[in-house]
């Protein structure tokens, strides 16, 4: 016969009582205090959400690990391993993103970390560009064979021009006064690059430069520049908009606009005080060409637009005076050149009154000018 | 002891829940790529209480999602309010973009319709939340939250009509004299868009599709602006609110400043 001691029976009763109490308590808590989550996203949805968070961060922040200057990338067809490229180039950059998605950017690709996405493995299946040149990356989930696409938009490299009264040209008069109230105006902070143009050219079947994708595009005609910006949903930047973005804001109460010739100072002789080696304020001829860093922050303006002076020659759509298209201030000219003043423009057309526009006579270039450009957007 | 076992068993059984997992995950997959939520019914969405006719169908909202390489698909969220002891009903239906949601009251749902006596629909911060009695359904719309990324589910091959269908010269944004916007679809322009002056609203401008050739003869006048010029009535010959290049002069034709 099996005999149980009285103490073990009472222990058993106590334990049973505790289990019953806990069961009853948990029943009431779950039933009445916690609402039913009947729409738990399944694991694919959670995994996809995590993937998009990772990819968005990578797209917006670019080469977070700073791999490029240390060891470069393994995708020379997409990103050349030239040392002098500013890290901002890799933000919102379709070529860098493609390099990254193909696991050639020398960082751990989250797509290979299957366990991070709840056992779902996303396979990069290739890419294409839409009608506006936005990168579209295709993916397939291995287990379920579900496919999807992610479109990447460039939200990195524009500034919004503040609504105000502005004045174009280097002259302080009201001849070219204007305002942008009621017009949302966004301007590229950097030049349009060779790589940007290549995306457009491939879609349109146009021959254009294919090497040094990180450099500014300088081989398009004026009309082609307009067509490129229209393709991107914008317009070729107007000269007066560039002036508005780079002249230090100095509007008097009666709409008179003071014009200071340099973007970093209200001193009219500021360039004499600069010294020969301050290439961050203006990358002029005195600066070593080998030291030029592409997509860099040379000559920043109050608005956030770069290359206000120096760097590359640039062309604009000048609505007030159409022949006056070119900013000649660039790394081709020394600091004492008359071109190194905000608002001054050049033309290749003869018999113009451009000296009236500039407020002074300057010897105009004779040959065709290879110039960079950028776009403005009214979204 | 046997009584104890019976009690514990009964408690565990009664705490089990009916979870319609298949219906929930199906709906969640559909709405992963929603990029726009429009036609919000304020008496249903974010309302403290439902003050609607009982026993009748109402449209709560329209959701637009991206599928099959960024083609658009529309869904309507429809609600039938409870009537006396009869529960209300909530369902999502697929809709045509040019058909009102109210046309779909008696259409079949894309997933199981849900019954309720108490309903709360909240839409805020890119998230939709449905509370039906004690059940909850939550959806996050990444495509609305993020300006940089957009997801499209389904086939990778292009199947839809071209995104950009407005030709150059077409007005894509129309601002009326009272500053109301009667048209706004410049994202459909084939070749960018630019501002023109064609109304008395001083805080906003209409837009036209195409490359900006303002200032040239036969084209819209470039805008100098009303604040810079201090002009109230813009629609006059040689209006200073606009400007032209070369020998062209600003004229006002059908309220539009042009160069002739």
Q: What is the pLDDT of residue B162?
A: 53
Tell me: do B36 and B135 sit in the same domain.
yes
Q: Considering only alpha carbons, which residue of chain A is nearest residue B134?
A: A35
Statement: residue B157 has pLDDT above 70: no
A38/B137 touch (CB, cutoff 8 Å), yes or no: yes
pLDDT, one tens digit per residue, over B168-194 is 999 999 999 999 999 999 988 988 999
Tell me: do B183 and B138 sit in the same domain.
no
Tell me: do B132 and B36 sit in the same domain.
yes
pLDDT, one tens digit per residue, over A81-101 is 877 999 999 999 999 999 888
CB B148 within 8 A of CB A152: yes
Distance CA B119, CA B81 (A): 9
Please give the residue that has the higher pLDDT: either A329 or A363: A329
* CB pairs < 8 Å spanning A and B: 186
The DSSP letter of residue A373 is -
pLDDT, one tens digit per residue, over B222-246 is 999 999 999 889 999 999 999 999 8
Contacts of B113 (CB under 8 A, 6+ apart): B89, B90, B91
CATH number of the A157-379 domain: 3.90.1580.10
Please give the residue that has the higher pLDDT: either B40 or A33: B40
Please give the residue that has the higher pLDDT: either B191 or A216: A216
Please give the residue that has the higher pLDDT: either B252 or B32: B252
Q: Of the given ranges (A63-77, A260-274, A317-331), which has the lowest mean pLDDT?
A: A63-77
- Please give the average per-residue pLDDT across A343-355, as a whole number: 88
Give the angle B43-B44-B45 at the CA atoms, nearest 5°. 105
Please give the residue that has the higher pLDDT: either A13 or B40: B40
Statement: residue B221 has pLDDT above 90: yes
Within-domain flag for B103 = yes
- Buried b / exposed e over B85-103, threshold 16 CB at 10 Å, is eebbbbbbbebeeeeebee
- Please give the average per-residue pLDDT across A201-220, as a whole number: 91
Tell me: do B61 and B128 sit in the same domain.
yes
Sign of the alpha-carbon dihedral angle for A333, A339, A340, A342: negative
pLDDT, one tens digit per residue, over A134-150 is 999 998 888 788 889 99
CATH 3.90.1580.10-classified regions of chain A: 157-379
Statement: residue A197 has pLDDT above 90: yes
Sign of the alpha-carbon dihedral angle for B99, B101, B105, B109: positive
From the list A368, A343, A354, the residue with the least C-alpha distance to A222 is A368
A36/B17 touch (CB, cutoff 8 Å), yes or no: yes
Statement: residue B260 has pLDDT above 60: yes
A378/B226 touch (CB, cutoff 8 Å), yes or no: no
Q: What is the pLDDT of residue A15?
A: 84
Residue A74: which pLDDT band, with cuts at 50, 70 and 90? confident
CB A229 within 8 A of CB A222: no
Q: What is the pLDDT of residue B18?
A: 47
Distance CA B66, CA B188 (A): 16
Rounded to an integer, what is the distance from CA A129 to the centroid of its chain?
A: 17
Residues in chain B: 260
- Please give the average per-residue pLDDT across A200-228, as a whole number: 93
CB B24 within 8 A of CB B139: no
> What range does the domain containing B76 cover?
32-145
Q: What is the pLDDT of residue A24?
A: 81
Statement: residue B208 has pLDDT above 90: yes
Residue B6: which pLDDT band, with cuts at 50, 70 and 90? low
B28/A92 touch (CB, cutoff 8 Å), yes or no: no
ipTM of the complex: 0.84
Give the pairing of strands A135-141 and A122-129. Answer: antiparallel
Q: Of the given ranges (A16-30, A88-102, A359-373, B206-220), which has the lowest mean pLDDT?
A: A16-30
Sign of the alpha-carbon dihedral angle for A44, A49, A54, A55: positive
Distance CA A26, CA B16 (A): 12
- Please give the average per-residue pLDDT across B120-137, as a whole number: 91
Tell me: do B66 and B103 sit in the same domain.
yes
What's the whole-number average pLDDT of chain B?
A: 88
From the list A149, A147, A125, A115, the residue with the least C-alpha distance to A47 is A115
Residue B48: which pLDDT band, with cuts at 50, 70 and 90? confident
Q: Report the 3 state secondary structure along B4-49.
A: HHHHHHHHHHHCCCCCCHHHHHHHHHHHHHEEEEECCCCCCECCCC
Name A265's bridge partners.
Answer: A262
Distance CA B91, CA B75 (A): 10
Residues in chain A: 379
Give the HSE-up count for residue B3: Cα atoms under 13 Å, Cβ half-sphere: 2
Residue A45: which pLDDT band, with cuts at 50, 70 and 90? confident
Residue A113: which pLDDT band, with cuts at 50, 70 and 90? very low
DSSP sequence for B111-171: S--EEESSEEEEEETTEEEEEETTEEEEEE-HHHH-SSEEEEES-SS--S--S--BPTT-E
Q: What is the pLDDT of residue A13?
A: 81
User: Between B69, B134, B193, which is nearest A149 by CB?
Assistant: B69
Q: Considering only alpha carbons, which residue of chain B is nearest residue A145?
A: B154
Q: Is the pTM of this model over 0.90?
A: no
- Highest mean pLDDT: which range of A341-355, B3-17, B33-47: B33-47
- Hey, what are B154's tokens? 């389904």
User: Between A36, A40, A319, which is nearest B214 by CB?
Assistant: A319
What burial class does residue A171 get, using C-beta atoms within 10 Å of its C-beta: 0-12 exposed, 13-18 middle, 19+ buried? middle
Torsion of CA A286, A289, A292, A297, to 10 degrees: 30
State the CB neighbour count (10 A cutoff) for residue A190.
23
The structural domain count of chain B equals 2
CB A90 within 8 A of CB A213: no
Distance from CA of B15 to the nearest CA of A (A): 6
Rounded to an integer, what is the distance from CA B4 to the centroid of its chain?
A: 58
User: Between A55, A181, A233, which is nearest B149 by CB?
Assistant: A55
Contacts of A324 (CB under 8 A, 6+ apart): A239, A318, A345, A346, A347, A352, A354, A357, A358
Rg from Cα positions in chain B = 27
Q: What is the pLDDT of residue A42?
A: 61
Q: What is the pLDDT of residue A34?
A: 58
Name A52's bridge partners.
Answer: none
Distance from CA of A130 to the nearest CA of B (A): 9
B-interface mutation test, from A93, A151, A152, A166, most B Cβ less than 10 A away: A151
- Hey, what are A65's tokens? 């690990």
Tell me: do B40 and B95 sit in the same domain.
yes
State the CB neighbour count (10 A cutoff) for residue A80.
16
Within-domain flag for B234 = yes
Name A317's bridge partners.
Answer: A238
Please give the residue that has the higher pLDDT: either A231 or A5: A231
Statement: residue A37 has pLDDT above 60: no
pLDDT, one tens digit per residue, over B24-44 is 455 777 888 999 999 999 999
The DSSP letter of residue A181 is T
Residue A6: which pLDDT band, with cuts at 50, 70 and 90? low
Distance CA A277, CA A260 (A): 22
């Amino acid at each position: 016969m099996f005999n149980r001691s009285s103490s073990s029976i009472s222990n058993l009763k106590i334990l049973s009582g505790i289990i019953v109490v806990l069961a009853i308590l948990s029943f009431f808590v779950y039933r009445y205090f916690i609402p039913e989550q009947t729409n738990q996203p399944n694991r694919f949805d959670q995994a996809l959400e995590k993937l998009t968070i990772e990819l968005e961060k990578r797209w917006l922040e670019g080469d977070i690990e700073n791999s490029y200057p240390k060891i470069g990338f393994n995708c020379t067809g997409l990103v050349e391993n030239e040392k002098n490229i500013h890290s901002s180039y890799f933000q919102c950059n379709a070529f860098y993103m493609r390099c990254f998605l193909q696991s050639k950017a020398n960082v751990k690709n989250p797509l290979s970390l299957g366990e991070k996405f709840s056992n779902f493995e996303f396979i990069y299946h290739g890419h294409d560009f839409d009608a506006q040149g936005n990168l579209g990356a295709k993916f397939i989930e291995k287990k379920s064979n579900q496919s999807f696409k992610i479109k990447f938009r460039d939200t990195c490299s524009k500034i919004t021009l503040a609504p105000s009264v502005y004045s174009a040209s280097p002259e302080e008069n009201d001849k070219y006064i204007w305002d942008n109230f009621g017009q949302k105006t966004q301007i590229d902070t950097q030049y349009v690059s060779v790589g940007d143009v290549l995306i457009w050219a491939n879609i349109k079947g146009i021959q254009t430069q294919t090497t040094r994708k990180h450099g500014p595009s300088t081989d398009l005609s004026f009309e082609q520049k307009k067509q490129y910006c229209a393709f991107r949903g914008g317009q070729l930047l107007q000269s007066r908009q560039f002036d508005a973005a780079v002249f230090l804001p100095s509007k008097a109460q009666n709409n008179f606009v003071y014009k200071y010739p340099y973007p970093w100072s209200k001193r009219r002789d500021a360039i004499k005080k600069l010294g020969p080696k301050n290439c961050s304020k203006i990358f002029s001829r005195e600066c070593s060409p080998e030291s030029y860093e592409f997509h860099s922050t040379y000559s920043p303006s109050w608005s956030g637009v770069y290359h206000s002076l120096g760097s590359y020659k640039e062309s604009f759509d000048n609505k007030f005076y159409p022949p006056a298209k070119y900013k000649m201030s660039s790394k081709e000219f020394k600091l004492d050149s008359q071109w190194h003043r905000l608002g001054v423009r050049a033309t290749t057309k003869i018999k113009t009154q451009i000296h009236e526009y500039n407020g002074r006579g300057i010897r105009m270039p004779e040959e065709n000018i290879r110039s960079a450009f950028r776009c403005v957007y009214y979204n | 002891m046997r009584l104890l076992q019976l009690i514990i068993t009964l408690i565990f059984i009664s705490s089990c829940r009916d979870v319609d997992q298949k219906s929930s995950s199906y709906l969640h997959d559909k709405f992963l790529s929603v990029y726009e939520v429009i036609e919000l019914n304020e008496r249903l969405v974010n309302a403290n209480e439902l003050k609607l006719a009982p026993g009748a169908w109402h449209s709560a909202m329209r959701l637009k999602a991206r599928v099959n390489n960024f083609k658009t698909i529309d869904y309507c969220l429809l609600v039938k309010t409870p009537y006396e002891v009869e529960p209300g009903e909530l369902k999502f239906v697929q809709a045509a973009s040019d058909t009102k949601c109210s046309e779909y009251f008696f259409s079949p749902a894309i997933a199981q319709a849900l019954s309720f006596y108490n309903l709360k629909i909240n839409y805020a911060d890119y998230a939709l939340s449905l509370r039906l009695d004690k059940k909850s359904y939550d959806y996050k719309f990444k495509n609305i939250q993020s300006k940089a990324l957009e997801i499209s589910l389904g086939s990778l091959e292009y199947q839809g009509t071209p995104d950009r269908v407005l030709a150059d010269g077409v007005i894509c944004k129309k601002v009326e004299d009272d500053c109301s916007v009667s048209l706004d679809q410049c994202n459909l322009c084939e070749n960018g868009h630019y501002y023109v002056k064609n109304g008395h609203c001083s805080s906003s401008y209409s837009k036209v599709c195409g490359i900006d050739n303002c200032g040239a003869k036969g084209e819209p006048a470039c805008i100098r602006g009303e604040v810079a010029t201090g002009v109230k009535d813009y629609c006059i010959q040689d209006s200073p609110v606009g400007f032209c290049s070369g020998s062209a002069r600003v004229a006002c034709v059908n309220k539009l400043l042009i160069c002739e």
